Amino acid sequence: MPKVTVDGQEIEVPAGATVLQACELAGKEVPRFCYHERLSIAGNCRMCLVEVKPGPPKPQASCALPAADGQEIRTDSEMVKKAREGVMEFLLINHPLDCPICDQGGECDLQDQSVAYGRGGSRYDENKRAVTEKYMGPLIKTAMTRCIHCTRCVRFSEEVAGVDEIGALYRGENMQITTYLERAAEHELSANVIDLCPVGALTSRPYAYEARPWELKKTLSIDVSDAVGANIRVDSRGREVLRVLPRINDDVNEEWISDKARFQVDGLTRRRLDKVWIRKDGKLARASWDEAFRAIAAVNAGASVAAVAGDLVDCETMFAAKKLLGALGSTLIESRQTGMSYPVDNLAAVNFNSTLAGIEEADAILIVGSHIRWEAPLVNVRLRKAAKRGAKIFLVGAEWETTFAAEFLGEDLTVLNNLPDYVNDTMKGAERPAVILGGAALANGALAPALALAEGWNLVREGWNGFNVLHMAAARMGALMLGFAQAGGIADLIAAKPKLLLALGADEVNFATFDGALKVYIGHHGDKGAAAADIVLPGSAYTEKPGTYVNTEGRVQYADKAVFAPGDAREDWTILRALADALGVTVGFDSFPQLRAAMVAEVPALGVEGLANYGALPAAVAGAKAEGRIAAYPIKDFYLTNPIARSSATMQECSSELLHGEDVLEAAE
């Protein structure tokens, strides 16, 4: 490990570190624009100049210079100060002085660093360069005159997203960043370039001119648009969520979030349920909470009550429902709305055991029935990393456009019973083999044959567990931990013919199968569930309540409440608590802390932030055979998978323009 001296302070740095990293380890701030920890080194902004001895008597770009033994690095010398001022002046030559009308203002690297490292004024009185606007789709707003050519966006789309759609045309001063023929950026993670852009060249289109960063209340939260549980920061002002940004968590989402997680939030103000509704003569009519509770109590359901949890629900809501049903004497609870009925007595068998960060290390991966790019874009990023490291990846299921080298083995699931020899050999010979089962595989009963394969390939070994199930619902693992599942799936609930059905944000249920029941929908959006319900009780969306979420790898995470729910809407647990009173039972909690304490007392793993331990995989069932075909995946439209996204104008625009190729609607049309 090389020993270097940074501003007179001697430190040891890891082998392969750059001078910039050495400076950071020594606690020195080095300004930079093009350098980014998760992207390749470009060395083209020159902002990170430092003085290094031995070496030529001139400042060196520290981001691209390897730290070597005996180097004497100075970040505080006169030479460095002058070099930074010089670079800053050059960068500002062509950068417009439009900070007052720029959305990046207040959170702009260029602004901050010019204050910290630049000269006080400008000596430039020539004409500035101007660049024509570039269209990059409905999510990314461009002002390319502001671009300082750091090429972070180009490197992101090539290296992380794996879709070469952004490039730098022309050269020198005339260089312009654009997508090919100004087509919309179509990748599911495309909007991360907004965060990467150190200036205001790429900004958020839906958030344009909405707010300044210092006006916003920042709340730490968890994304519910898929089962990855990306760590997000919810920025709100007053009662409105204005935007969502990723938080850094290397174990979960690194530094990225999907476009859906980022931009579905404008759906939180549309089609909201903010009043109590009761169906009278086939039409929903406004009512009061009292009327609704009386109507529910009037059914006299007794123990004949069932509850179905939706995909976005937090653990506390489900636990409150479970307690309520328990007090009424019922255990008819289920979260797999679409009818899946895989066994859940051992949660290790339905968990992403490799962990999201761990799957990067796999060297042979078999993916069964998962359109990963749509079901979990952030897992796709990890798989791309694995493939870049040399992992062999095979897929079973209908073909989709992968962003990594992979081989499709066909739609027919029976291929699992008799895999080609080279696949078998690769998986057997791999040091860290992994299997990933998607929702389509679970629905087709591929869990048992996959477990058999896992046993055959010895997927679980010292320090490695290669058996993975990739869920799509943020609520799924939490629901399963709370026992929100029946052996036969939702069919058991239908067979029980309950008199009262509580749908907790459940929109994908086929409500026609619950014909005789009084259907009470507790949720936040007027979607399919509310349309089928007899009574609608307005609840809270994920930004409007504190909650516990468990992601697909069994990671327990907590989200905070960012804003209050609109109108008469309440936090879901309070509705269930009030319902308990109306039905004359006690559930044992009167406040949120009590509810959470009761939940943790029953499922202790939910009280510990981090990975839950589900124990060992179950033994494989002998003779389990795969059958069926995976001709399609459950997600038909990436941008419209949940009620919030379906209500979001931005997501609808993305869906019509990016997936269905419709022309952009101009304002005049």
Residues that bind another protein (CB under 8 A): 164-171, 174, 179-181
- Minimum CB distance to another protein smaller for 169 or for 597: 169
Q: Where are the beta strands (DSSP E) in 272-368?
A: 276-280, 283-287, 305-309, 332-334, 364-368
Single-letter amino acid code for the residue at 337: Q
Single-letter amino acid code for the residue at 650: T
Cβ at position 167, least distance to another protein in Å = 4
- Minimum CB distance to another protein smaller for 180 or for 209: 180
Cβ at position 146, least distance to another protein in Å = 18
Report the distance separating Cα 370 and Cα 400, nearest Å.
10
Cβ at position 157, least distance to another protein in Å = 9
Beta bridge partners of 521: 503, 536
- Minimum CB distance to another protein smaller for 167 or for 483: 167
- Minimum CB distance to another protein smaller for 168 or for 611: 168
- Minimum CB distance to another protein smaller for 166 or for 654: 166
- Minimum CB distance to another protein smaller for 55 or for 167: 167
DSSP 97: S
Are 19 and 28 contacting, i.e. CB atoms less than 8 angstroms apart? Answer: no
Contacts of 282 (CB under 8 A, 6+ apart): none
Cβ at position 180, least distance to another protein in Å = 4
Cβ at position 176, least distance to another protein in Å = 9
Per DSSP, the residues of 537-561 read EE---GGGS-EEEE-TT-EEEEE--
- Minimum CB distance to another protein smaller for 404 or for 464: 404
Cβ at position 158, least distance to another protein in Å = 8
Q: What angle do CA 34, 40, 42 make, to 5 degrees?
A: 45
- Minimum CB distance to another protein smaller for 187 or for 577: 187
- Minimum CB distance to another protein smaller for 129 or for 233: 129
Cβ at position 92, least distance to another protein in Å = 20
Are 129 and 145 contacting, i.e. CB atoms less than 8 angstroms apart? Answer: yes
**Distances, alpha carbon 143 to alpha carbons 135, 210, 584, in Å:** 10, 17, 61
Cβ at position 174, least distance to another protein in Å = 5
What does DSSP say about strands 276-280 and 240-246: parallel, antiparallel, or unpaired?
unpaired
Residues present in the chain in total: 669
Strand order in the sheet with 9-12: 9-12, 3-6, 72-74, 49-53, 60-61
Cβ at position 446, least distance to another protein in Å = 33
- Minimum CB distance to another protein smaller for 110 or for 147: 147
DSSP helix, strand, coil percent of the chain (3-state; round to 5): 35, 20, 45
- Minimum CB distance to another protein smaller for 151 or for 236: 151
- Minimum CB distance to another protein smaller for 516 or for 661: 661
Chain centre to alpha carbon of residue 323: 30
Cβ at position 262, least distance to another protein in Å = 24
DSSP 383: H
Single-letter amino acid code for the residue at 554: G
**Distances, alpha carbon 175 to alpha carbons 142, 293, 562, 648, in Å:** 15, 65, 42, 36
Among candidate residues 98, 100, 107, the one with its CA nearest the CA of residue 214 = 107
First to last CA, the chain: 64
Cβ at position 493, least distance to another protein in Å = 50
Cβ at position 401, least distance to another protein in Å = 13
Per DSSP, the residues of 243-282 read EEEE--BTTTTBT---HHHHHGGGGGGSSB--SEEEEETT
